[in-house]
Amino acid sequence: MNQTSARNIVVTTDRSRLDLDMIHGFLTTSYWARGIPREIVARSMESSLCFGAFDEGRQVGFARVISDRATFAYICDVFALESHRGNGVGRSLMAAIMSHPELQGLRRRTLFTRDAHGLYRKFGFGAPRHPERLMEVIDNDPYRA
């Protein structure tokens, strides 16, 4: 699947085009995956539907979707390189995710964000309807040696 935005950002799910070094390099410094080992990034991508955003052939963004492709999807690791923020990379990634044929008819899509609420609201995301039902287990230092 390839999708082109108005700003010539091409989004694809073609795994052969994804730059693992760039993806890992960004994620290891992100607030949500700081210090993540490269092999864990690679393993996470194996079991996910991955989206790469490209500008003139260079990867400038990434997103990953964990889904059973029938009822549920968790959108994660969404980012645009600093050099391309504000250029529609995030919107292009989210548009491709929301329109992907394998992610239609789902009962629920979820994500977590610290600072991109405005972007995700444009795609219908909001506060959980029943936050009292949400439970989680968090390891605050998952990549410790």
Q: Domain extents for the chain?
A: 2-133
- Alpha-carbon gap, residue 98 to 133, rounded angstroms: 25
Question: Which fold, 2-133?
Answer: Aminopeptidase (3.40.630)
Q: Is the pLDDT at 81 greater than 50, yes or no? A: yes
Amino acid 6: pLDDT? 46
Whether 85 has a pLDDT exceeding 70, the answer reads yes
Terminus-to-terminus CA distance in the chain, angstroms?
38
Please name the amino acid found at residue 80: A
In 3-state terms the chain splits into helix, strand, coil percentages (rounded to 5) of: 30, 25, 45
pLDDT reading at 35 higher than 50: yes
Q: Could you tell me what percent of the chain has a pLDDT over 70?
A: 94
Read off the pLDDT of residues 47-75 as tens digits, 9 standing for 90 and up: 999 999 999 999 999 999 999 999 999 99
Q: pTM of the predicted model, to two decimals?
A: 0.92
